Amino acid sequence: MAVEVKIGITDSPRELSIQTALTSDKAFAEVEAALSGKEQLLSLVDDKGARYLIPVTKIAYVEVGSSENRRVGFGAA
């Protein structure tokens, strides 16, 4: 179950979208710890092993998705 984390970066028209193997609660806790001033960088690892370091001062917003499975195909509701 991958969780999608979308990060808006200041002065950038695009957002950074990361699929991570973390639970939704764990991903939210990582973001919250970084934004609360405890860290200068938000560090996340995607589900393929790529590592991301995002300076907290450049984060405009963060959206942590749920850990539900996506349905694909004609029967998806």
Say if residue 6's pLDDT is above 80: yes
pLDDT digits (tens, 9 = 90+) for 28-41: 999 999 999 878 99
Domain count, the chain: 1
CB 39 within 8 A of CB 23: no
The verdict on residue 42 lying in a domain is yes
pTM: 0.79
Domain-embedded: residue 54: yes
**Residue 57, domain member (yes or no):** yes
What are the angstrom distances between the C-alpha of 28 and each of 3, 61, 72?
10, 12, 26
Determine, yes or no, domain membership for 69. no
Residue 73 lies in a domain: no
Q: Given this model, what pLDDT does residue 39 score?
A: 84
Q: How far apart are CA 23 and CA 65, in angstroms?
A: 10
Residue 31 sits at φ, ψ, to 5 deg, of -65, -45
Which residues span the domain enclosing 8?
Answer: 3-64
